Chains A and B, each alone.
Chain A
Amino acid sequence: MASANATSPAGPSRFWDRLNISTKRVIWAWAFLALPILFYTGIRFYPTFQAFWLSLTNWDLLRPAQFIGFANYEKMFADPMFWKVFQNTFLYLIIGTPVSLVISFVIAYYLDRVRFMHGFIRALYFLPFLTTAAAMGWVWRWFYQPVPIGVINGFLASIGIAQQPFLRSVDQALISILIPAIWAGLGFQIIIFMAGLRAIPNTFYEAARIDGLGDGAILRKITIPLLKPTTVFLVVFSSIGFLRIFDQVYNMTTNDPGGPLNSTKPLVLMIYQTAFSSYQMGYAAAQTVVLFTILLIVSLLQLYVLREKK
């Protein structure tokens, strides 16, 4: 075997030697890139396009898929639950993104000035980001319990305020789930904001101070405008995160997923239930296409609104 190996590559190796160094580099680069490209085409892009096709079928895993036109979409748009879920999804986005960005900016802005135990405080903020969403969901779920075990209600009861239903209320449940979700993402956003703040050259601030600008004006005229690339990134990133929210909702409402009365159900959970508990793969694919479209539109819109004006 060994001898056969030694003689056979002689032909190709002469061809390889004739190439100049830059061509070789390009070939090497493509050789390395080929693997991820193949991977993405096979694992990501192909199934994505397949999902568009599936959304036009009635595939239920068991019987072969049949083309049924836009019946899945008609069913979806006529389903009041879908609109409820649609509304929930946007509530997660519309409340979650601005609130989390404002809080993380404020924390980052002031943390940036703190020298005392700076690293420790930063680590404290970052810690929730490292925690598994499932574990956190369960802990918060117990926080929200009624007395005698719920910490929050225990506190409310001890100062004489009526206990709150939290997760057992159609009005409070969504916010109750959003709070730990925002808290969990805070650490990451703070770190990115702080990196953005550090990247602003000190000379700008010095110049502003010499010109006699106050802290508020510096914040408005220098810090916030120069943080724009960071903000754009975080807005897009966190919007996508809130539009795809699932772990927190599912873990905090496992007994009645997305409940009570669908008041916390996001689109992703609806897709999950349609696909893996009702096995309506075609219908679930149609919902996925809607989610994909929403994500695409929201991302493009944000990039357009927050684009660099030249």
Chain B
Amino acid sequence: MFTKAKMAGLAAGVSLLALGSAQAVEIEYWQYVFDSRVQAMDKLIENFEAANPDITVKHTTFPYADYQTRVVAAKVAGQGPDVVQLFYGWTDQFVNGGLIKPLDPAVFPHEEIEADFFPIVSAMKRGDDYYGLPTAVRSLALFYNKALFEEAGVEPPDTLDELLAAAEATTKRDGGGNITTAGITLDMAGQDHHWWREDLVRQFGGAPYDADGNVAYDDEAGAAALKFYTDLQTEHNVGLVGFMDEGQAAFRAGMAAMTIDGTFRLGAFANNPFEWGVVELPANADGLRSNYSSYFANAIGATAEGEELEAAQKFLAYISSPEAMEIWLETVGELPARRDVALTETNLADPILGPFLKGLEYAHTTQFYDEAAQRQTAIDMVNRVLLEGQSIEDSLAQAAQAEQAIIDAGRQ
């Protein structure tokens, strides 16, 4: 009996070994859980496996909140993914931590990347190497509630002055002066810190960061931009930080006439019980526009070697291909990262996608070192003015100092 079992085990082992050598290479792909993204990726994997029968892709997902921790923990345990999705703002952490490896220029030529993708792809470049490629990109736009606009008899704004006028016209207040419907949502914890940093600061004549990436907004322009933002609450009373808890919630409930948000919100807003529209972020008086664009890129894990590396490169090339971008746009609603796939006539004429795509052309991408911490400096900057009555200049200077400290720490 004992020998029989031994024989059986041996046989099983031998057959498993044989199977292993004949079997195709398996690579692992990691991203965070978001329904439509998972569906889109499943479809891409299906197509990829059909075209490459010798490669199988294992699709692993984690909740967004744990995602970074899982990637880091897997690297510590020595079994990271072969292809991994990361927010462009995490690139430094991932590169410094040795989680991802540079893309081989022989497989992904730099000239082609720079010619085909939107220029914001440069945020994935460190030194002479690209560390990842996006499938889709995101930009910001102004969402407005058509019913509330019609009721107030105003048109969607094109400039900051018109934005203010529209906000004033659409704000509703009760007898005590409390806002019951906000003209515009104020939510620095949402997308407003991007609007302030990359758009308002520039529109008031400044720059958020200098050429070396150091904080440069601590000047008159920065102060004017911050004042414009906080005045929306203090001076004009057309919005209230914390109104309905979150900006997107207020807009979704039909309690805010305008909100600034990104492409990724399209899915959530699709079921809003009212008609809404999208316009480009308003220009300043001189017609200057700016926008903030961000993206999740796909990179190759540091542990991928040999035939797994080859398969990973093939897979990365496929999920960055025009075909993949179209599938992604259809399923997730995010904008294609390649110019020629994105800027088609149909897309530009689309009333929803059009404003986002136009925004991409003049968008900036902030070089983040610790996105959450840098966002916190913007949240605190506004809170100090609104809650503690600190002067605009002092609060701005304190925020600039705090953010510079994060940047300095990130560079070490």
The chain A residues found within 8 Å of chain B, CB to CB, are 1, 60-63, 141-142, 145-149, 153, 157, 160, 162-163, 165, 167-170, 255-256, 259-261, 276-279
Count, chain B residues at interface, CB 8 A: 38
Closest 7 pairs between A and B when the two form their complex, measured CB to CB: A62-B97, A255-B189, A168-B242, A260-B383, A148-B180, A147-B178, A61-B72
Report the tally of A-B residue pairs with Cβ distances under 8 A: 80
The residue from B96, B187, B243, B372 contacting A146, defined by CB atoms under 8 A apart: B243
- The residue of chain B having its C-beta at the shortest distance from the C-beta of A138 within the complex is B245
What B residues does A61 contact at CB under 8 A?
A: 72-73, 76, 97
Docked Cα-Cα span, A145 to B179, in Å, equals 12
A279 engages B72 (CB within 8 Å)? yes
Residues on A with C-beta less than 8 A from B361 are: none
CB-CB < 8 A to A160: which residues of B?
Answer: 176
Tell whether, in the assembled complex, residue A168 and residue B388 are in contact, meaning their CB atoms are under 8 Å apart.
no
- The complex places the Cα of A148 from the Cα of B174 at a distance, in Å, of 9
Of chain B, the residue at the smallest CB distance from A260 is: B383
In the bound complex, residues from chain B placing their C-beta under 8 Å from that of A147 are: 174, 178-180
Closest to A168 in B: B242
Expressed in whole angstroms, the minimum distance between the Cβ of A277 and any Cβ of chain B is: 5
Check B339 for interface membership: any CB of A closer than 8 A.
Answer: no
0 or 1 for each of B378-398: is its CB under 8 Å from A? (1 = yes): 011001100110000000000
| Interface of chain A: mostly helix, strand, loop or mixed | loop
Contact A277 B380 (CB under 8 A): no
Which B residues lie within 8 Å of A145 (CB)? 242, 244-245
Provided the pairs A61-B72, A62-B75, A145-B244 are in contact, do residues A261 and B384 lie with their beta carbons within 8 angstroms? yes
Bound complex: CA A151 to CA B254 (Å)? 19
Using a CB-CB cutoff of 8 Å, which residues 87-102 of chain B contact chain A?
93, 96-99
Q: CB distance A157 to B178 under 8 Å?
A: yes
Question: Does B240 sit at the interface, judged by CB under 8 A?
Answer: yes
CA distance A62 to B95 in the complex (A): 11
Determine which of B174, B241, B255 lies in contact with A168 in the assembled complex, contact meaning CB atoms within 8 Å. B241
Residue of B72, B96, B243 most packed against chain A (CB within 10 A): B243
Provided the pairs A62-B98, A168-B387, A170-B388 are in contact, do residues A261 and B246 lie with their beta carbons within 8 angstroms?
A: no
> Which residues of B, 163-184, contact A by the 8 Å Cβ criterion?
174, 176, 178-180
List B contacts of A279 (CB < 8 A).
68, 72, 93
A-B contacts, 13 of them at CB < 8 A, read A1-B2, A60-B97, A146-B243, A148-B255, A165-B387, A167-B242, A168-B387, A255-B187, A256-B383, A260-B380, A260-B383, A261-B383, A277-B373
